[in-house]
A and B are shown apart, each in its own frame.
Chain A
Amino acid sequence: MHLNENVIRWTLGLCLNLLLAFVLFRNRVYRRLPVFGVYLLVVIVCDFLSSGMRLLFPVRSAAIFYEFWTGQAVMIGARAAAVGEVCFQILSPYRGIWKLCRMFLAAVALVLLGCATYSAAGQPHLMTPFIMVLQRGLELAIVGTLAFALVFAMYYELKIPRFLMLITGGLLFYSAIQIANSQFMSTLRGPYHEAYAALSLFSFNIASLIWVVALWKPLPAMESAQAPSELGVSAPEVHARLRELNARLSEILR
């Protein structure tokens, strides 16, 4: 029964990966979102490698341990790069806003990464707590950067395409679950291991489903910000009205 459940979960995960790969190539996602496309490919390759390794080696062997954590490191790195690309896609059509926000977003990511490294370095000399704390910090950096990008987008009322919203939602969902998961794992350790693996897989499958929905239709081309004339009135008219208003206000408030 227990084995069947695991097999179902893995099979479901692999099927989702295949579906994701199909969508990725059918809609040529790598053209519009090259880094995110590479991230998805990395995930798919890592998942298949991991499944192959489990067939060749016993689950609790050193080879599986190092393969798993190396895969996690590569995937987190690729996801971090994909987050950078998603932020760019959300904010860059608005040139001024992008110039203003990119340094801020980079600073947020760097500070959170610094905090993660510092916390991980302070852990006792055991592999699992060190990795867990580092992973939690990295996920936090991903969530923080994406959240700030969304805050900027909401503040300036920027138009975010639906597929980008869904991709962002998937990334946020997976990272948020991973933060909680790593926290529980570093506290409860051994007894939580099975639940950790199951929750990781389950959350990733949900995120994959969200991404499949996001990428199902062909992706629209990148749009630049609306021209002033498309806003319904000519800029000189608005400017003249504002100048008149400001002159009156200065007179009144003198």
Chain B
Amino acid sequence: MITSPLFFVGLSAIVLVVAIWIVVRPLRAESKLGPDASAKIETLVAKHCTHFAQMRQALASEDIDFIRRRLPKKDAARLKQERLRALQKYLDAIGEDFARLDRMARILTSLSPKVERRDELERLRLEIQFRLLFRAARLRVLLGVGVGVPTLGHLADVVAGLSRQVESLSAWQQTAESS
């Protein structure tokens, strides 16, 4: 009788730990970046997410359908693998962009004399959202399922949101430096 509630408590605890692990654990790109005192702030600007248009084109479903119809199965499978590899690389690059911008946001926030609680909560939300989306996308790529354009768009949107936040933070720094 008592095993069933215990089982569910145990299961819930495991699910909770996994969920916290997924949200809290930094991405590989974030850990790689690490706190480095010698890092220059100009190296932290996003570089790769602007290639979204090319990726959107490469993932267009019309193209995939066309190739599937025209190419032999073996070549189509090879092409699919190539696309997955490219997708994985692009995902890693977006992760790097996010890690850089996030680091820059933290540095600028730590230097700012006035930090808005709302902005910090928004950044925390973006961080959690990005980690969840990113991990889900990576898992799909690893399983060979691939990621659709909307998911990539979502990821790029989050990076863009963070970039806009960093821009407003740097605007303050600009006035501080000039005054």
Contact = CB atoms under 8 A, between A and B. Distances in A.
Interface of A: 94-97, 99-100, 155-159, 225-229, 231-239, 241-243, 245-246, 248-250, 252-253
Interface of B: 35, 37, 40-42, 45-46, 49-50, 52-53, 103-104, 106-107, 109-115, 117, 120, 153, 156-157, 159-160, 163-164, 166-167, 170-171, 173-174, 176-178
Nearest to B46: A245
B41 A232 contact: yes
A250 B160 contact: yes
Secondary structure at chain A's binding surface: helix, strand, loop or mixed?
helix
A210 B171 CA distance: 43
Contacts of B40: 231-233
A12 B85 CA distance: 64
A99 B114 contact: yes
Given A232-B40, A233-B42, A238-B170, A157 B111 contact: no
B42 A229 contact: no
Contact of B112 (A96, A226, A241, A242): A96
Interchain residue pairs A-B with the least CB separation, the first 7: A232-B40, A96-B115, A235-B173, A233-B42, A249-B160, A242-B167, A239-B170
B46 to A, nearest CB: 6
Secondary structure at chain B's binding surface: helix, strand, loop or mixed?
helix
B35 A100 contact: no
B45 A238 contact: yes
20 contacts: A94-B110, A95-B114, A99-B115, A100-B117, A100-B120, A157-B106, A158-B110, A231-B40, A231-B107, A232-B40, A232-B41, A233-B40, A233-B41, A237-B42, A242-B163, A243-B167, A245-B45, A248-B50, A253-B157, A253-B160
A250 B159 CA distance: 11
A246 B52 CA distance: 13
Contacts of A233: 40-42
Given A249-B49, A249-B156, A236 B174 contact: yes
Given A95-B114, A100-B115, A100-B117, 12 more contacts: A96-B110, A97-B109, A228-B176, A228-B177, A231-B40, A232-B41, A235-B177, A236-B178, A239-B167, A242-B167, A246-B163, A248-B50
